[in-house]
Amino acid sequence: MRHRSSGVSLISKESLKQRLDKDKIIDGDHWLWAGACDKDSTGYGVIRIDGKKFGVHRISAFAYLGLDLNDHDQHALHKPECHNRLCFNPEHLYIGTNADNRQDRADIIRASSHYPCGHPRTIENSIKSDPPRCLVCHNKRCNDFYHKRTTTTRVIKTREEIIEEEYFRLKEEDENR
Ligand SMILES: [Zn+2]
Ligand SMILES: [Zn+2]
């Protein structure tokens, strides 16, 4: 069975390359996209082809690397040495799977100095997880969640600490019964 191919597949790769070239700013060995950017602020360049919106890095990976635009398990990912979402130099891209995509996002968080929430990504402000998470936001979520259940002070505690306290409190209640 033939799956429906997107209109892009019908446009020659050469003409797509020429289109990308029109909005290309060379910055060192990066090719930065000078055209439109994603409104959802993912930071990727976007291009309209046949009325459909595509990530510029995806179109570049299609035209230069042979990415299959109809295969949703194929992602155009930036190599660690680039990680500039506006860059579409095919030498800075590779084709990865869904798993690679998750790993890639984890790597970006690990490599940046701030979490997406804007809080600093320091050892003091991190939860040991993979990828690490923001402690301030984690505490806020936990405090909101446990607010009604705990009579404790407003000292910021980790979820584990709150659960542990709760456990000992219940145990004590049991013993005093
Ligand atoms: Zn680059
Ligand atoms: Zn945060």
Q: Where are the domains of the chain?
A: 8-111
Q: Closest-lying ligand to the alpha carbon of 139? A: 2
Distinct helix (H) and strand (E) counts, the chain = 5, 8
At 148, the pLDDT band (50, 70, 90 cuts) reads low
Residues 111-124: what's their mean pLDDT? 81
pLDDT of residue 16: 95
Look at residue 1 in the predicted model and tell me its pLDDT: 39
Phi, psi of 109 (to 5 degrees): -60, -40
Q: How many angstroms separate the alpha carbon of residue 9 from the centre of ligand 1?
A: 25
**What is the whole-number distance in angstroms between the Cα of residue 59 and the centre of ligand 1?**
15
Report the distance separating Cα 49 and Cα 8, nearest Å. Answer: 7
CA 36, CA 48: separation in Å to the nearest integer?
Answer: 9
CATH of domain 8-111: 3.90.75
Q: Give the three-class secondary structure for 134.
A: strand
Structure confidence at residue 61 as a pLDDT band (50, 70, 90): very high
| Reported confidence tier of residue 177, pLDDT bands at 50, 70, 90 | low
Burial, 58: exposed, middle or buried (Cβ in 10 Å; 0-12, 13-18, 19+)? Answer: buried
Ligand nearest the Cα of residue 86 is 1
Least confident interval from 16-20, 64-68, 69-73, 119-123: 119-123
User: What is the 177 CA–ligand 2 centroid distance (Å)?
Assistant: 42
Give yes or no for a contact between 57 and 63, defined as CB atoms under 8 angstroms apart. Answer: no
**156 versus 80: which is more confidently predicted?**
80
Q: Residue 136 Cα, ligand 2 centroid: separation in angstroms? A: 5
pLDDT at 67: 95
| Interval between CA 142 and ligand 1 midpoint (Å) | 39
44 residue type, one letter: Y
- The ligand with the least distance to the CA atom of 120 is 2
Q: Which ligand is nearest to the CA of 32?
A: 1
Mean pLDDT, rounded, for 13-35: 94
Cα 125 from chain centre = 20
Calculate how far, in angstroms, residue 62's C-alpha sits from the geometric centre of ligand 1: 16
Please give all residues whose CB falls under 5 A of ion ligand 2, grouped by chain where several chains appear: 117, 119, 134, 136-137
State the chain's mean pLDDT as an integer.
81
| Residue 119: per-residue pLDDT | 86
Which residues does residue 121 pair with via DSSP β-bridges, in sequence order?
none
Q: What's the pLDDT band for 2 if we cut at 50, 70, 90?
A: very low
Q: In the structure, what pLDDT confidence band is assigned to residue 124 with cuts at 50, 70 and 90?
A: confident
Please say if the pLDDT value at position 128 is more than 70: yes
Ligand nearest, relative to CA of residue 141: 2
64-117 pLDDT tens trace: 999 998 898 999 999 888 878 899 999 999 999 989 988 887 777 777 788 877
What pLDDT was estimated at residue 60?
A: 97
- Ligand number nearest CA of 127 is 2
Judged by its nearest atom, the ligand closest to the C-alpha of residue 136 is: 2
3-state secondary structure of 166: helix
